[in-house]
Amino acid sequence: MPGGRSEAVDELVAKAGPRESALAQKLRRLIREALPGAEEVVKWGNPTYLVDGKPVAWILLYGDHVDLGFFQGSKLKSRRLEGTGKRLRHVKVRTSADVDEVEFSRLLREAVSVGRGPVNK
């Protein structure tokens, strides 16, 4: 459902621990606000956000933190990004205070812009 909540993602997030679930919900809200037309789906077993059918970002739930990841993250600039792969980068979120809404929103919008090129699905 473009721009809306996905029931499949609701179910996936609900299965996480309470802290990780709360962090994921905060990130979901931020993503919906930054990318109002994004489609929220479960892809590769994780909440994934598509814009114009192309994957832009994901949320990955771990036992001790949550990752906000970017499919074209190597093209983004931020001191918060981690990873050394060819394309993917992520930000580890361990507490609510780790969610930098201004920076994450900027990264999400930039990820859409740089992701308009070819992306492997």
CATH number of 7-114: 3.90.1150.200
| Predicted pLDDT of residue 7 | 85
Please give the pLDDT value at position 120: 47
- In the predicted model, residues of the chain with pLDDT beneath 70 are 1-5, 116-121
* Predicted pLDDT at 5: 63
- Phi, psi dihedral angles at 58 (to 5 degrees): -145, 165
Angle between helices 101-114 and 18-34 (to 10 degrees): 60
32: which 2 tokens? 């919906």
In this structure, is the dihedral angle defined by the CA atoms of residues 34, 39, 43 and 46, taken in order, positive or negative? positive
CB 26 within 8 A of CB 99: yes
> Which pLDDT score is estimated for 119?
46
